[in-house]
A and B are shown apart, each in its own frame.
Chain A
Amino acid sequence: MGRIQLENVTKSFGDVEVIPPLNLTIEDGEFAVFVGPSGCGKSTLLRLIAGLEETTSGKVIIDDENMTEVPPSKRGLAMVFQSYALYPHMTVRKNIAFPMRMAGVDEDEQEKRIAAAANALNLTDYLDRKPGQLSGGQRQRVAIGRAIVRDPSAFLFDEPLSNLDAALRVGMRLEISEMHNRMQTTMIYVTHDQVEAMTMADKIVVLQAGVIEQVGSPLELYHKPRNKFVAGFIGSPKMNFISGDEAAKQGAHTIGLRPEHTEVSTTEGLWKGVVGVAEHLGSDTFIHVHDTGLAETFTVRITGDIAVRHGDTVYLTPQAEQIHKFDTDGLRIV
């Protein structure tokens, strides 16, 4: 089991309120991702659940039990840190065994679980090394191994892949997703990378300044962002926002159009512009268009390749059904 509820949880550091009253439920077995720009309070929220920060008010409930006052060691959760936080004076084996030793698991059982974890994480050959002798990816595997063997009711990940290089990040992302599919344990994952959020999550929680902007599945957030912030944060490249006459024509203060929802032509279309930069990836082409009179830069993404270069004139046509409309407060108009 691993159902986590936050009831009117707040957190202040001195006079600064970083998390205003917040309510959230994460169901058992769910993969929830907290995403938002840096300083939005997502790590603080995770630490409140872990018990590493004390709530200023409100309740943290784990499996229907009020854990607000319970120390982190007694909450039955496991955490993987951005910095790995391995014990540098212990070998990999001892690092992984540590939580079991603290819990008084007998040695045969410890050995069995270490072997299983090491096998699953490709660490078998490194068990007798110290963390200092491992690469970043291996260290993160050890940290995950240390979390797995405890058999926690939920895993907490605090930006676990941020210190890894891009290629390794993609690999580890897949591994963590597979681990979740296999174990079906609740996981809460904090990241500032919306791609990680989109690819891994069952449920994404978008945060800004300690406030939940929207909670939903990745595709819900993509197709029906509740406000301009979520619309701009989810999706890569970012959504284009247009205000003024073009928006007024649609009966909105601002309209949003994703780069992939705009047609490009060199001969005809609704809006005219000049190509600033064209990025040819082979599979896709990103075109940054200037002088459209709509926004400073209008980004378009098309599948496949198109023969345009810097300085070419292009015509853009939005897919009418994909236009997002927002009112003066930045809220979605349904």
Chain B
Amino acid sequence: MAIVAQSSKLSNVLWPVLAWIVGLLFFFPIFWMVLTSFKTDADAVKSEYLLWFTPTLENYLNMTENYDYWRFARNSVITSVFATIFTLVVSIPAAYAMAFNPTKRTKDVLMWMLSTKMLPAAAVLYPMTFLTKSLGLFDTHFMIILVLSLINLPIVIWMLFTYFKEIPKDIIEAGKMDGVDTLGEIKEILIPLAWGGIASTALLCFIFCWNEAYWTVRLTTTDAATLSKLIEGNRAPEGLFFGRLSAVSTAAVGPIVVLGWFCQKQLVQGLTFGAVK
């Protein structure tokens, strides 16, 4: 008994300490980035101003005045929101069909979907660019929304499929007996029941869209350019301006961090959905 009590006391101390160390380790780069964003480009590279420096808003003012931050931010919001909506509209029925009316090939279809994620993006860079340009869709919101949706579909369908599998089949069948058609089953029964799972999947999808850089950088110039493009654009040829770059990066990740913060409860609820029946 004494040993058990002692070891549990030890783990009571050990685990939080370990968690804090890991947490700080993950947080440090972000902290560093935010700190640097308040330094001038000159101060940013000087070791004597590592922690003690005179903070300045110069980088932020510069960003909004000269780099049209709000346009990039607006594009990020538009493409991420619509891509998430479009992805959900396609994935909910797809995951529903596979979860409640599986066939012998359902597992294969799921694997095939996931396998598309194994394709390196660079492998289709040329055909994608060519296609986009020849269809006249280069640098359009439509194209970015489409690309972001297609990239995230497999993972979103997988996640929703896992959540939907947790819903007892009887409840869906009860719906059928109660006179509901397929659309009604999804709207009246499935979505309200899997709300936590759908919300956390949507949030994750939104975060992926927001952070996507490979295609948003390559398929846009100005009109549909997102915050990723803005960051990329600040890699100036004459050298790295760390202060400016940090400010842009901070402003790019800021909204998503705030969103994640507010949706924490929803995220956790969604991720533990299977445990609550």
Which residue of the partner chain, among A51, A87, A102, contacts B171 with CB atoms under 8 Å? A87
Residues of B within 8 A of A78 (CB): 177-178
Which residues does B use to contact A, with CB under 8 Å? 104, 168, 170-171, 173-181, 184, 188-189, 192-193
Q: A72-B173, A73-B180 are in contact. List 7 more A-B contacts (CB 8 A).
A: A73-B176, A73-B178, A73-B181, A85-B171, A85-B174, A87-B174, A99-B178
Residues of A within 8 A of B184 (CB): 102
Count the A residues whose beta carbon is within 8 Å of the partner chain — how many?
Answer: 26
Say whether A208 faces chain B, with CB atoms less than 8 Å apart.
no
Chain B interface helix/strand/loop/mixed? helix
Contact between B178 and A150, CB atoms less than 8 A apart: yes
6 pairs of residues in contact across A and B, judged by CB atoms under 8 Å: A51-B176, A71-B181, A82-B170, A86-B174, A89-B193, A146-B174
B277, closest chain A residue (CB): A88
- How distant is A164 from chain B, measured CB to nearest CB, in Å? 16
Please indicate which of the listed interface residues A50, A81, A156 has the most CB atoms of chain B within 10 Å of its own CB.
A81
A156, closest chain B residue (CB): B177
- How distant is B173 from chain A, measured CB to nearest CB, in Å? 5
Contact between A150 and B179, CB atoms less than 8 A apart: yes
Say whether A56 faces chain B, with CB atoms less than 8 Å apart.
no
CA gap between A73 and B184 in the complex, in Å: 11
CA gap between A146 and B174 in the complex, in Å: 10
CA gap between A146 and B170 in the complex, in Å: 14
* 5 nearest CB pairs, A to B: A85-B170, A85-B174, A99-B178, A102-B179, A72-B176
- How distant is A48 from chain B, measured CB to nearest CB, in Å? 13
Residues of B within 8 A of A146 (CB): 174, 178
Residues of B within 8 A of A50 (CB): 177
Contact between A102 and B178, CB atoms less than 8 A apart: yes
List CB contacts (< 8 Å) of A72-122 with chain B. Answer: 72-74, 77-79, 81-83, 85-89, 98-99, 102-103
CA gap between A156 and B174 in the complex, in Å: 11
Say whether A323 faces chain B, with CB atoms less than 8 Å apart.
no
CA gap between A204 and B168 in the complex, in Å: 30
Contact between A71 and B176, CB atoms less than 8 A apart: yes
Say whether A52 faces chain B, with CB atoms less than 8 Å apart.
yes
Please indicate which of the listed interface residues B176, B180, B193 has the most CB atoms of chain A within 10 Å of its own CB.
B176
- How distant is B108 from chain A, measured CB to nearest CB, in Å? 16
Contact between A81 and B173, CB atoms less than 8 A apart: yes
Residues of B within 8 A of A72 (CB): 173, 176-177
CA gap between A77 and B177 in the complex, in Å: 7
Residues of B within 8 A of A14 (CB): 104
Contact between A88 and B193, CB atoms less than 8 A apart: yes
Residues of A within 8 A of B104 (CB): 14
Contacts A88-B193, A89-B193, A102-B184; A83 near B168 (Cβ below 8 A): yes
Residues of B within 8 A of A81 (CB): 170, 173-174
A82, closest chain B residue (CB): B170
CA gap between A39 and B77 in the complex, in Å: 55
B171, closest chain A residue (CB): A85
Which residue of the partner chain, among B170, B173, B180, B192, contacts A102 with CB atoms under 8 Å? B180
Residues of A within 8 A of B171 (CB): 85-88
Contact between B173 and A87, CB atoms less than 8 A apart: no
List CB contacts (< 8 Å) of A1-23 with chain B. Answer: 14
Residues of B within 8 A of A71 (CB): 176, 181
Please indicate which of the listed interface residues B171, B175, B176, B177 has the most CB atoms of chain A within 10 Å of its own CB.
B177
Residues of B within 8 A of A79 (CB): 173-174, 177
